[in-house]
Structure 1
Amino acid sequence: MKHLIVYAHPNSESLNHAILDTTVNTLKKQGHEVTVRDLYELDFQPVLKPADTAAMRNGHTPQDIQTEQDHIAQADVITFIYPIWWTGLPAIFKGYIDRVFSYGFAYSVGEEGIIKLLAGKKGVIINTHGTPNEVYDHIGMTNGLKLTSDTGIFDFVGIESLGHLFFGSIGYLDDASYKGILKQVEDKLDSLFS
C-alpha cells in the first residue's frame, strides 16, 4: 500500500517526531511505500489567499497546493501526526487542510449534496497533548476532537477513519511511558496494516 504521512511539529527532538519515525519504520518493515510531508521542513505556506482561490477557480492550482494534492491522490492511506494546541490543529496543519483539501479536489457539491472526492482512501490520526486523557475524556474534548477531525475532515471528503490515537500528559511522563506510547503506535499500525 502507498502511505502518505502529513506531519507537523517544529521540534525534531519531540515525541511527535519519535512517533513519526516509529510510524515510518513500522510501515516500511511491513513492506509499505511511505511518503512523509513534514510541513515545517517544507516551510509550507498555510494562509489561503484570494489569489489561491481565484487561480483554482480558473483551473490553475498553485504549484505548492498541486504538489500536496498529487501526494494525496497517489496515497491509499493518509496518516496525520500533530500535537493538539489550544484544543485544535497547529496553524500550519489547519492551513494545509484549508489550502489542499480544496473544493473540486477533496469534495464537490451536486444535486444530492456533498460529493466526497477522496472516497476509497483510509485515514489514521495520531495526536499528543499536555492535558491528561482522563480530563479530555471527562470534559468531552476527546469526542470533540474526533468529531472535528475524523468526521469534519476525513469523513467529509470520503476518507474512512481507521483509528485516532490520543496521547495525553505529554511533558509530564517518565521515559518508560514515552516508550510505551511508541509501542502503542507500532502495535496499532501492525494491527491495521500487517
Structure 2
Amino acid sequence: MKHLIIYTHPRKRSFNHAILETVTESLRQEGDEVIVRDLYDIGFQPVLGPSELLGGVGEDVVREQSYVSWAEHVIFIYPLWWAGMPAMLKGYIDRVFSYGFAYKYDDGVQVGLLAGKKATLIHTQNKSSEQYEASGMGNALRLTIDEGILAYCGFEVNRHFVFDSILSSTVEHRQAWLAQLSETILFHS
C-alpha cells in the first residue's frame, strides 16, 4: 500500500516524532511504500494567498497534491493545540485540499474528489480524553476534522488515535502506546 504521512510538529525530540518514527518503521517493515512530508522540515508556507482563492496554485501546492494523489492512505500526525490542529497543518489543508482537487460542487451538490482514499489521524493532547468528551470537544473535533474536512473531501476515515495527558504520561505509558500503535496501524491501513 502507498502511505503519505503528513507530519506537523516543530520539535524532533517530541512524542509526536516518536509516533512518526514508529508508524513509518511499522509500515515499511510490511513492505509498504511510505512518503513523509514533515511540514516544518520542508518549510511549507501555510498562508493562503489571494490568487489561490481564484484558483491559482503554486508549484509547492502542485507538488503536495501529487503526493496526495499518489497515496492510497494518508496519515496525519500532529499535536492538538487550542482544541484544533496546528496552524501549519490547517494552512496545508487550506492550500492543498483546494476546490477542484479535493472537492467540487456539481449542480450545487458537494462532491469529494479524494474518494477511494483512506485517512488515519493520530494526535496528542495534554488534557485527558474524558475531559474532552465531557465538554463536547471530542465530538467537535470529530465533526470538524474527520467529517468536516476529510470525509467532505471523500476520504474514508479509518481511525482517529488520541494519545492524551501527554505532559503527565510516563515513559512506560509512552512506550506502551507506541507498541500498541505499531500493531494497530497495520490493521487499520
Pick the TM interval, shorter chain: over 0.9
Where 2:167 maps in the other structure, the secondary structure is: coil
- Asked if 1:66 is matched to 2:62, the reply is yes
Per-residue CA shift, 1:6-47, capped at 9, x if unaligned?
A: 000000000000000000001001110000000000111000
Alignment root-mean-square deviation, CA: 1.1
Q: Name the amino acid aligned to 1:67.
A: R
CA distance in 2, matches of 1:140, 1:181: 24
CA distance in 2, matches of 1:136, 1:119: 30
CA distance in 1, matches of 2:131, 2:188: 28
Uncovered stretches (5+) of structure 1, i.e. residues with no partner: none
CA distance in 2, matches of 1:37, 1:180: 26
- Asked if 1:158 is matched to 2:149, the reply is no
The answer on whether the counterparts of 1:55 and 1:62 sit within 8 Å (CA) in structure 2 is no
CA distance in 2, matches of 1:10, 1:158: 29
CA distance in 2, matches of 1:161, 1:112: 24
Q: 1:182 maps to what in 2?
A: 178
Where in structure 2 are the equivalents of 1:99-178 lying within 5 Å?
99-111=95-107, 113-178=109-174
Using the size of structure 2 for normalisation, the TM-score is 0.97
The answer on whether the counterparts of 2:159 and 2:188 sit within 8 Å (CA) in structure 1 is no
Using the size of structure 1 for normalisation, the TM-score is 0.94
Where 2:100 maps in the other structure, the secondary structure is: coil
CA distance in 2, matches of 1:165, 1:144: 15
Q: 2:188 maps to what in 1?
A: 192
The answer on whether the counterparts of 2:78 and 2:86 sit within 8 Å (CA) in structure 1 is yes
Aligned residues: 189
The Cα of 1:52 is off from its aligned counterpart by 2.5
Q: 1:39 maps to what in 2?
A: 39
The answer on whether the counterparts of 1:11 and 1:17 sit within 8 Å (CA) in structure 2 is yes
The answer on whether the counterparts of 1:23 and 1:189 sit within 8 Å (CA) in structure 2 is yes
Q: Name the amino acid aligned to 2:152.
A: F
CA distance in 2, matches of 1:142, 1:64: 33
The answer on whether the counterparts of 1:7 and 1:36 sit within 8 Å (CA) in structure 2 is yes
Per-residue CA shift, 1:63-98, capped at 9, x if unaligned?
A: 000000000000000000000000001000000000
Where in structure 2 are the equivalents of 1:86-97 lying within 5 Å?
86-97=82-93
CA distance in 1, matches of 2:100, 2:6: 21
Seq. identity, %:
44
The Cα of 1:137 is off from its aligned counterpart by 1.7
CA distance in 1, matches of 2:125, 2:163: 6
The Cα of 1:132 is off from its aligned counterpart by 1.1
Moved more, 117-126 or 174-183: 174-183
The Cα of 1:109 is off from its aligned counterpart by 0.4
Q: 2:48 maps to what in 1?
A: 48
CA distance in 2, matches of 1:82, 1:42: 16
Per-residue CA shift, 1:119-139, capped at 9, x if unaligned?
A: 000000000000111111211
CA distance in 1, matches of 2:171, 2:2: 32
